[in-house]
A and B are shown apart, each in its own frame.
Chain A
Amino acid sequence: MTAPVIEVANLRKRYGSTVAVDDVSLEVHPGEIFGLIGPNGAGKTTTMECIQGLRKPDHGTISVLGLDPQRDATALRQRIGVQHQEAHLQKRIKVWEAVDLWSALYSRVVDPDALLTRLGLESKRNAWFMTLSGGQKQRLFIALALIHEPEVVFLDELTTGLDPQARRAIWTLIADIRARGTTVFLTTHLMEEAERLCDRVAIIEHGRVIEMGTPADLVRTHCPEQSVIYTSDGSTHTLRGEGDDFVTNVINDIARSGVRVRGFRTESPTLEDVFLKLTGHGIRD
């Protein structure tokens, strides 16, 4: 097993009397897409910013690519890409100027025009930042985070504010950059996004990681119950159960009973159900 790309041990961070992050430990492995999910104010952004070296932890140790984010900040910044949740650009900077500025800061960069095209921004090259729509801004930020082909990319709420089409395009892009070996650390409020993209997720609440694992494992552990819903004789029946044989058994029972089935579907729990169960409430967007 290769060494983790990100190692966080017993991270604590408070703002005044607010404890934002309370004893968080996690590891992210090379080439993995790791997702941090949790309600508003859970401490996702704070955790991420400590890992990026933008905030100084009160307690705990962090290592990214073998570097200390505080001590080796300069070396680390060449090798990571960062997309912030809430950070703008100069109102009157043009899209190409931003990309050009960022390109000048790194020793190795990708073709900026190709990147803008890939993110659907080629027609906005000469637009001022302030004239971009929310989703276009978001895509520009993602472009800036990827301009230098970073080894690790941090995406805080990467698809917030994007339309479904753009969201899917970004998902493809993220899958793409992972395929090239980039490690991705993201936060999201969309459970569908986490389930689809992430190899592993950590659920964080009140600054503590309450569960961690692959989305499939988490669902199997916490919400094993499946439902079979079928319609016969004009009425709808719902059966719930768990286990690998549950659906097969239902099908066999129905076949044996000889009723005429007009509709049949199964419902499996999702990461959202796990989230609801563990946190006692939904994500508050």
Chain B
Amino acid sequence: MLNGLWKLTWVETKVFLREPMGVIGTLGIPVVIFVIGGRLLGTNPAGAAAVGEAAPLNMAILASLIIAVGAVLSLVSIISIYREGGILKRLRATPLSPLTILGAHVLVKLLFTVAGMGLLVLAGRRFFPGAMQVNLFSFTAALLLSTLSILSLGFVLASIVPTARFAQPLGAAVLYPMLSVSGLFVPLEQLPAAVRFVAHGLPMTHAVALMQGIWDGSGWSAHWANAAALVVIFGVCSGLATRVFRWE
């Protein structure tokens, strides 16, 4: 059924590209935030070096995570619209496996995450030359792992959201607060113990730590625990989603 997976992924990619708001939201907005935010605050090429200090905003990491969050919000809303419109049901009656039907959406989202990352890099080279001294391959891999982990949480959200109308608000209400306790704005050490405890269970926190580490140049080996946490969260959320997912 690999043929079906590619076909469906390609169709979903085209369908998504035809929706102007979706593309602007997922690709355009992070770049705008990156460029404007970077101009205002001045990019710190080794932003993470300052963890524990007075919160230097690393705009590149923020923008990357907004790409990831955008992808997840878009997934939650597409899945709930497809469920409401009976599109999931129609696909389910074909020989496509359930995993393929949902997997195609994951691939599309990862594809657009990479595209968004590409735009970010181009914008960075253009507006902040000198600030982009990062191993892009490694950084993109970290972003993809983070996105995948957050996407699995997105599937749980998509399963519980009652109607398509609530998909975006619910997704935003869950995902954006995660950013605020992720250590990106306020170092984890400065958070109250209870909040810090919760933050350690959230994918965003590990995503930030991993990506800051890679931006820093300290690499995967220094942050294997964060990577492992992202994988575990992916496993737990995917497992949960397969149990609670509703096709209609």
Contact = CB atoms under 8 A, between A and B. Distances in A.
B92 interface: yes
B90 A84 contact: yes
A104 interface: yes
A1 interface: no
A227 B139 CA distance: 84
B95 A93 contact: no
A84 B94 CA distance: 12
A86 interface: yes
Contacts of A86: 86
Given A90-B11, A90-B12, A104-B4, A84 B18 contact: no
B8 A101 contact: yes
Given A90-B12, A97-B14, A102 B94 contact: yes
B4 A84 contact: no
B90 A89 contact: yes
Interface string A95-118: 001001110111000000000000
Contacts of A101: 7-8, 11
Contact of B15 (A90, A100, A144): A90
Interface in A18-72: 52, 54
A72 to B, nearest CB: 12
B96 A54 contact: no
Contacts of B82: 90
A234 B107 CA distance: 79
A31 to B, nearest CB: 22
Contact of B89 (A84, A102, A105): A84
Nearest to A78: B95
Contacts of A52: 93
Q: Number of contact residues on A: which range applies?
A: 20 to 34
Contacts of A144: 90
Interface residues of B, number: 23
A48 to B, nearest CB: 11
A110 B96 CA distance: 19
Contacts of B95: 74, 77-78, 105-106
B87 interface: yes
A105 B15 contact: no
Nearest to A80: B93
Contact of B86 (A74, A84, A93, A106): A84
A87 B93 CA distance: 11
Interface string B2-22: 011001100110110011000
Interface of A is mostly: mixed
Contacts of A97: 11, 14
A92 interface: yes
Contact of A128 (B11, B12, B18): B18
Interface string B79-93: 000100111011011
A260 interface: no
A101 B104 CA distance: 13
A144 B87 CA distance: 13
Contacts of A88: 85-87, 90
Contacts of A89: 87, 90
A82 interface: yes
A30 to B, nearest CB: 22
B75 to A, nearest CB: 14
Interface in B162-200: none
Given A54-B93, A105-B94, A106-B95, A90 B4 contact: no
A105 B6 CA distance: 11
B7 A87 contact: no
Contacts of B3: 104
Contacts of B8: 101
Nearest to B92: A54
Nearest to A75: B95
A77 B85 contact: no
A179 B239 CA distance: 47
Contacts of A102: 94
Nearest to A154: B93
Nearest to A74: B95
Interface in A138-177: 144
Interface string B91-115: 0111111000000000000000000
A102 B93 CA distance: 11
Interface string B21-43: 00000000000000000000000
Given A54-B93, A144-B90, 17 more contacts: A52-B93, A54-B92, A74-B97, A77-B93, A77-B95, A84-B89, A84-B90, A87-B85, A89-B87, A92-B14, A92-B18, A100-B7, A101-B7, A101-B11, A104-B3, A105-B1, A105-B4
Interface of A: 52, 54, 74, 77-78, 82, 84, 86-93, 97, 100-102, 104-106, 128, 144
